Amino acid sequence: MLVILGGAIGAPMRYLIDRSVQARHGTTFPWGTFGANVTGSMILGTLTGATLAGAASQNVQLFLGSGLCGALTTYSTFSYETLSLAEAGARFLAAVNVVASIVAGLGAVFIGLTFAQAAFG
């Protein structure tokens, strides 16, 4: 039930973040999905650090990690948008999306984990 509840919150958050960010940027680059994925990565890194330090329970991990972050982040939309960029002839933007998403996502996890270790360690 915790995963379902987290997912029920994370999926609309992803949609709202995507629409809000895309409305402010008149580019074909998928900033909304990028922002949602980096945000979810930061939350998951922080949660992982808190869990490792014993500051977050398994129930919190299920709710926030599997539920909320699982629905907030989206590999399928990232893949679709990257492919769409490439098919539209924006191959450079497609490559930037891949590299930036991986670097920013991993960076966000690391920052979140480091923050949690400092706060709870």
Per the structure block, which two tokens stand in for 109? 């996890």
State pTM to two decimals: 0.93
73 is in an annotated binding site: yes
Reduced to 3 states (helix: H, G, I; strand: E, B; else coil), residue 90 is coil
Number of compact structural domains in the chain: 1
How far apart, in Å, are the Cα atoms of 4 and each of 40, 41, 62, 68, 103? 17, 19, 9, 9, 29
Domain that holds residue 35: 2-120
d(CA 29, CA 91): 11
Tokens 């945000």 map to which residue?
39
70 is in an annotated binding site: yes
d(CA 5, CA 68): 8
Length of the chain: 121
- Per-residue pLDDT of the chain (121 residues), as tens digits, is 999 999 999 999 999 999 999 999 888 999 999 999 999 999 999 999 999 999 999 999 999 999 999 999 999 999 999 999 999 999 999 999 999 999 999 999 999 999 999 999 8
